[in-house]
């Protein structure tokens, strides 16, 4: 499955995040041995346990809702925090990164889905926030793009609309606040069920779990 996926991503030059949440280190090691290096997790405790038992050149991505008091545990090694969904979290990441003299890469999470349970900024909220506090106010944070999840629905048109909206917002944010910053270049969208639509709508990074690792035990579907 890994190689088939990589072949599908190739024409789009999109990166693959293998979402390994709830899966054992042995399963991660298998993909690692096949060459995969980027893995996504949604719980701090789980990332830490796994990172301690797996090769140190794995690039760990945090993709789940993050509490400010837990940033310190992942700050030294996290490769990308994709789920920055509120100003307070960005401030807290800046503070922790400064303490250890690191620049932590992050993505700003956009809320485009219909479900209220999903997290993230609206475009409007993000514009207001970046106007008040431009990227330069966070010298220890590298804002590299946006991340989003589409609605949990069978309606392909709806999903496509939402991904197109993410890509459009990404473009407007880039033009307005990151004109001189080539680092702002990632649009992380698409999961096992909708990654093909995401690629067509401009994803630069997809986050795939169940397609690579099999279904998760008590999968919580929002």
Give the footprint of ligand PLP on this chain (CB under 6 A).
19, 21, 42, 63-64, 149, 191-193, 207-211
Q: Which residue's CB is nearer to ligand PLP, number 163 or number 177?
A: 163
Q: What does the block give as tokens for 222?
A: 């929002």
Taking the complex as a whole, the smallest distance from the CB of residue 58 to ligand PLP amounts, in Å, to 17
**Residue 161 burial (CB < 10 Å; 0-12/13-18/19+)?**
middle
Q: Which residue's CB is nearer to ligand PLP, number 5 or number 126?
A: 5
Residue with the closest Cβ to ligand PLP? 209
Taking the complex as a whole, the smallest distance from the CB of residue 131 to ligand PLP amounts, in Å, to 27
145, 186 in Cβ contact below 8 A? Answer: yes
Q: Which residue's CB is nearer to ligand PLP, number 135 or number 202?
A: 202
Taking the complex as a whole, the smallest distance from the CB of residue 118 to ligand PLP amounts, in Å, to 9
Q: Which residue's CB is nearer to ligand PLP, number 71 or number 205?
A: 205
105, 146 in Cβ contact below 8 A? Answer: no
How far apart CA 71 and CA 81 sit, in angstroms, is: 10
How far apart CA 35 and CA 33 sit, in angstroms, is: 5
């Amino acid at each position: 499955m890994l190689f088939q996926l990589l072949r599908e991503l190739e024409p789009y030059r999109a990166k693959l995040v293998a979402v390994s949440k709830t899966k054992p280190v042995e399963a991660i090691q298998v993909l690692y041995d096949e060459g995969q290096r980027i893995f996504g997790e949604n719980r701090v405790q789980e990332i830490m346990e796994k990172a301690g038992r797996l090769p140190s050149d794995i690039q760990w991505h945090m993709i789940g809702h993050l509490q400010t008091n837990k940033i310190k545990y992942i700050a030294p090694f996290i490769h990308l925090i994709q789920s920055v969904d509120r100003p307070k979290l960005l401030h807290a990441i800046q503070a922790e990164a400064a303490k250890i003299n690191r620049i932590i890469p992050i993505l700003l999470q956009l809320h485009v889905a219909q479900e209220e349970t999903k997290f993230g900024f609206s475009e409007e909220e993000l514009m207001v926030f970046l106007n008040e506090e431009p990227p330069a106010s966070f010298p220890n944070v590298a804002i590299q793009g946006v991340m989003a999840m589409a609605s949990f629905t069978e309606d392909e048109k709806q999903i496509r609309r939402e991904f197109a909206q993410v890509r459009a917002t990404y473009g407007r944010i880039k033009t307005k606040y990151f004109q001189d910053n080539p680092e702002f270049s990632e649009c992380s969208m698409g999961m096992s069920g909708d990654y093909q639509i995401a690629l067509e709508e401009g994803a630069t990074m997809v986050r795939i779990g169940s397609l690579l690792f099999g279904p998760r035990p008590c999968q919580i579907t929002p």
